[in-house]
């Protein structure tokens, strides 16, 4: 591929995804963080247009888009990573998505309507996203099928808040629109108030546009689908839309009513807001389900998809076009004179390294050095996950290796697992790594880097480099599919071949080693991953320098792996060095600097340095709140860490308030059932228990168990952990018979799912013994405590704190049974092992 532009010295433009009148969208590689992104660039105005009102307004709109979009953090809204200006080019960096927009979906199906169930699912997800954005004071103003993306997993996202505006700042946008003479919106989906050009545009305009989208999904064409823009605008302003069931009788009446109400000419006649719409959509779903599988899934009637609509007054499309032109002086704004209908849909595919065609993200919009290349076939648009930076972050938001969600069980001291740090503890949780293709030797080196080819080794032939790059991409694809074993083996083999051909310290060789480590970490093979990270870090320090972004990334992975292995003092030392280098080269408020400081706070807490952990986490929270907003996921994960530190310091009321705030914010942005939301709810329950509010804690856990059972299932470890702590809470309330029954049920499932000697299984068996003891069934309790002690000794070692705690449980039982001499011997043995350990 020909060399393309490097935006801001960071974003390497790789492949053109789409072009519009004002700019282009490219697939790009973030050279600093090693991830694929979408970069939207505004075309330079050119010398003859500089200072022109249109040029100025477009630039102002673009900057506004960036600021507004960066505020939005919701699963139904495209994530914006960065924006700025480079040599006169305004650019916006967004997540790269895998899927198709609704326009592409319709085009691929020959504009046949979608199944009713799918229409309702899309509508519910868009309504949820609009409810969030409208609550933030943001109105999209250009909602249309091309701006709604359906990902491969069924998730729906709203794209391109390019002409959104903050509701409290209507005057600015109105002035901008008037000065430029631009139409904001697309004719097929514009609300009557947008067409009239008045100042009364609010969130209900988006609801009208959504109604147009749903009408098209249900019938195959928009509600007013003439060839002339004037006729379309007049239709929106003056003509009632035809009922959906006229063209597709199987549409449930409640769904038809919802869509027609959305298309009401007067905003006050539409649903009050997106929340109201969501409620009505649930009724439509129930009606569709009641209709049975034979209804609502067929093709549209013959009238759908023809591109001509007949209004109630009998006007055909041709008559409407004439009427529209004659009505130009009767209320249509001057800017509409030059409007065209616009393209209906665009679609492109390509083959991935694994040979699979993947639908690509196509959007309008950064030029190369001089001239833009011809449109290229879109590349696979892998979704970014987790932090998206290949940098480990301690928190609660990502699955642990092997796919188990990160938040682990926190046990209180009474009847809980011995040796737990405190009730607010949460474990290391690794954000899924960003697998990416590294820059290979055809690319210009990073400013920190020495010449690309080592002086003692000739450059490899281009076809060899290309073959290596293809294999690297294939291994990356395996990882993205969750095939970690195969990906690790592929990266490891490629690292060996790259070392032989290019040298052990070549950037590509080191990138393969880094990727090998990431795969091994996901497989739980942390010690092996650590060796790969250390080798890659040492090589990058020699080759690229200690402060190169790639070196810093793998050094931070090294620290994370050390923490996972329980070597927290070593991890703290590495984090301290990385943090100093990041602050010096990137600045205090750079996202990667803040991630490192977050991890530092977590590691301090693992070392029992809670005051320092609280201080660092509070500082990071303050910066993230100011820069990203209080409800941003990164801000919330650090506030979660603040709650952890507060609990460790015994400030349980403050910890409870913090966890509740985090849970509420996560529920609003991620959903009530998201694992991160449930993790914060779990910790809030721990705080209630530590405050002695056991009845309240019990009800809290029962609600959490119900939610986890519904979303994760009865056998999921997180469901079982919630049931375990409910068992502990029952004991604290003195309801020991119920506690014993619950502990036996949970332990039996854990033995089948996790294994008989898994730490969670052993914690459950200990809870059985505790309940037996409180019921004065000491011989049975002794038997179980001894079994747990022997199992922990086998798996953890004789001197481990949890093994020793089990020995103390055993001695306590012996004392209760009057066998004091045996109890004394067990205590003595535990003391000697603690001293030797």
Active site positions, annotated: 142
Q: What angle do CA 62, 63, 64 make, to 5 degrees?
A: 90
d(CA 521, CA 561): 8
Residue 91 gets which letter from DSSP?
E
In 3D space, the residue among 161, 9, 31 whose CA is nearest the CA of residue 84 turns out to be 9
What residues have CB less than 8 Å from 50, skipping those under 6 apart? none
d(CA 189, CA 142): 8
Burial (CB < 10 A; 0-12, 13-18, 19+), residue 603, is: buried
In 3D space, the residue among 153, 41, 38, 152 whose CA is nearest the CA of residue 104 turns out to be 152
In 3D space, the residue among 101, 2, 81 whose CA is nearest the CA of residue 39 turns out to be 81
In 3D space, the residue among 434, 572, 539, 487 whose CA is nearest the CA of residue 32 turns out to be 434
- The count of other CB atoms within 10 Å of the CB of residue 268 is 7
d(CA 385, CA 665): 20
CB 719 within 8 A of CB 738: no
Beta-sheet strands, E only, within 153-264? 156-158, 165-166
Longest dimension (CA), the chain: 106
Half-sphere exposure of 318 (CA within 13 A, CB side): 0
Q: Which two tokens stand for residue 87?
A: 């040599």
Beta-sheet strands, E only, within 367-444? none
Q: Which two tokens stand for residue 672?
A: 């009530």
Helix axes 203-219, 116-135, angle to 10 degrees: 170
Q: Which two tokens stand for residue 7?
A: 């935006």
Half-sphere exposure of 251 (CA within 13 A, CB side): 30
In 3D space, the residue among 739, 743, 742 whose CA is nearest the CA of residue 694 turns out to be 739
Sheet arrangement for strand 148-151: 99-101, 148-151, 156-158
In 3D space, the residue among 156, 230, 153 whose CA is nearest the CA of residue 188 turns out to be 230
CB 56 within 8 A of CB 412: no
CB 84 within 8 A of CB 59: no
């Amino acid at each position: 591929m020909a060399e393309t532009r490097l935006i801001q010295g960071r974003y390497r433009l790789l492949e053109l995804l789409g072009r519009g009148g004002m700019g282009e969208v490219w697939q790009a590689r973030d050279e600093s963080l090693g991830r694929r992104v979408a970069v939207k660039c505004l075309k330079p105005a050119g010398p003859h247009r500089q200072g022109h009102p249109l040029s100025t307004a477009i630039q102002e709109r673009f900057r506004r888009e960036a600021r507004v979009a960066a505020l939005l953090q919701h699963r139904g809204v495209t994530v914006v990573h960065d924006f700025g200006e480079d040599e006169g080019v305004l650019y916006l960096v967004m997540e790269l998505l895998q899927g198709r927009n609704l326009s592409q979906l319709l085009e691929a199906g020959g504009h046949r309507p979608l199944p009713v169930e799918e229409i309702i699912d899309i509508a519910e997800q868009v309504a949820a996203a609009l409810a969030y954005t409208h609550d933030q004071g943001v109105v999209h103003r250009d909602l249309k099928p091309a701006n709604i993306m359906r990902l491969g997993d069924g998730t729906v996202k709203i794209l391109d808040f390019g002409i959104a505006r903050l509701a409290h700042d209507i005057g600015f946008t109105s002035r901008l629109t008037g000065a430029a003479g631009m139409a904001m919106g697309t004719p097929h989906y514009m609300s009557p108030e947008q067409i009239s050009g008045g100042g009364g545009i609010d969130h209900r305009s988006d609801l009208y546009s959504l109604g147009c989208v749903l009408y098209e999904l249900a019938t195959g064409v928009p509600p007013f689908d003439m060839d002339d823009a004037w006729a379309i605008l007049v239709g929106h302003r003056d003509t009632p839309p035809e009922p959906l069931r006229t063209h597709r009788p199987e549409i449930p009446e409640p769904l038809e009513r919802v869509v027609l109400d959305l298309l009401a000419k007067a905003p006050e006649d539409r649903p009050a807001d997106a929340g109201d719409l969501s409620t009505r959509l649930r009724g439509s779903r129930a009606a569709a389900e009641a209709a049975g599988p034979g209804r609502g899934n067929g093709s549209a009637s013959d009238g759908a998809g023809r591109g001509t609509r007949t209004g109630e007054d009998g006007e055909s499309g041709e008559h409407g076009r004439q009427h529209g032109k004659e009505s130009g002086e009767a209320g249509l704004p001057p800017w509409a004179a030059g409007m065209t209908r616009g393209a209906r849909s665009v679609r492109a595919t390509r083959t991935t390294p694994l040979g699979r065609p993947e639908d690509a993200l196509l959007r309008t919009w950064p030029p190369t050095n001089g001239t833009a290349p011809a449109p290229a076939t879109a590349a696979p648009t892998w979704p970014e996950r987790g932090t998206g930076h290949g940098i480990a972050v301690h928190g609660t938001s990502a699955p642990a290796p092997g796919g188990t969600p990160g938040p682990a069980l926190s046990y209180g001291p009474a009847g809980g697992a011995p040796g737990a740090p405190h009730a607010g503890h949460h474990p290391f949780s690794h954000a899924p790594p960003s697998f990416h293709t590294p820059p290979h030797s055809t690319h210009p080196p990073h400013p920190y880097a020495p010449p690309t080819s080592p002086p003692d080794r000739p450059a490899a032939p281009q076809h060899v480099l290309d073959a290596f790059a293809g294999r690297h991409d294939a291994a990356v694809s395996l990882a993205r599919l969750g095939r970690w074993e195969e990906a690790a083996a592929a990266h490891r083999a490629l690292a060996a071949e790259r070392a032989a051909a290019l040298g052990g310290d070549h950037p590509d060789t080191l990138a393969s080693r880094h990727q090998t480590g990431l795969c091994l970490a996901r497989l739980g093979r942390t010690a092996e991953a650590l060796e790969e990270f250390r080798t890659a870090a040492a090589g990058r320090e020699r080759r690229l320098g200690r402060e190169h972004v790639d070196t810093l990334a793998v050094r931070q992975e090294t620290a994370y792996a050390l923490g996972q292995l329980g070597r927290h003092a070593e991890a703290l030392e590495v984090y301290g060095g990385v943090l100093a280098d990041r602050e010096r080269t990137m600045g205090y408020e750079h996202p990667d600097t803040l991630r490192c400081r977050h991890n530092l706070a977590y590691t301090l807490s693992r070392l029992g340095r809670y005051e320092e952990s609280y201080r660092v986490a509070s500082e990071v929270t303050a910066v993230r709140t100011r820069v990203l907003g209080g409800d941003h996921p990164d801000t919330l994960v650090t506030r979660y860490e603040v709650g952890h530190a507060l609990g460790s310091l015994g400030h349980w009321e403050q910890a409870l308030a913090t966890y509740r705030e985090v849970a509420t914010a996560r529920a609003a942005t991620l959903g009530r059932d998201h694992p991160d939301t449930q993790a914060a709810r779990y910790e809030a329950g721990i705080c209630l228990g530590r405050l002695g509010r056991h009845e309240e804690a019990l009800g809290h856990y029962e609600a959490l168990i119900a939610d986890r059972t519904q979303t994760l299932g009865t056998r999921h470890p997180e469901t079982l952990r919630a049931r375990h702590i409910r068992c502990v809470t029952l004991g604290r309330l003195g309801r020991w018979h119920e506690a014993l029954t619950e502990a036996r049920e949970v332990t039996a499932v854990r033995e089948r799912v996790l294994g008989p000697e898994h730490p969670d299984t052993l914690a459950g068996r200990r809870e059985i013994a505790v309940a037996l003891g409180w019921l004065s069934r000491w011989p049975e309790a002794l038997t179980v405590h001894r079994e747990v002690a022997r199992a922990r000794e086998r798996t953890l070692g004789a001197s481990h704190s949890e093994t020793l705690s089990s020995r103390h449980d055993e001695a306590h039982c012996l004392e209760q049974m009057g066998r004091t001499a045996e109890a004394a011997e067990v205590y003595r043995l535990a003391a000697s092992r603690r001293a030797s350990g």
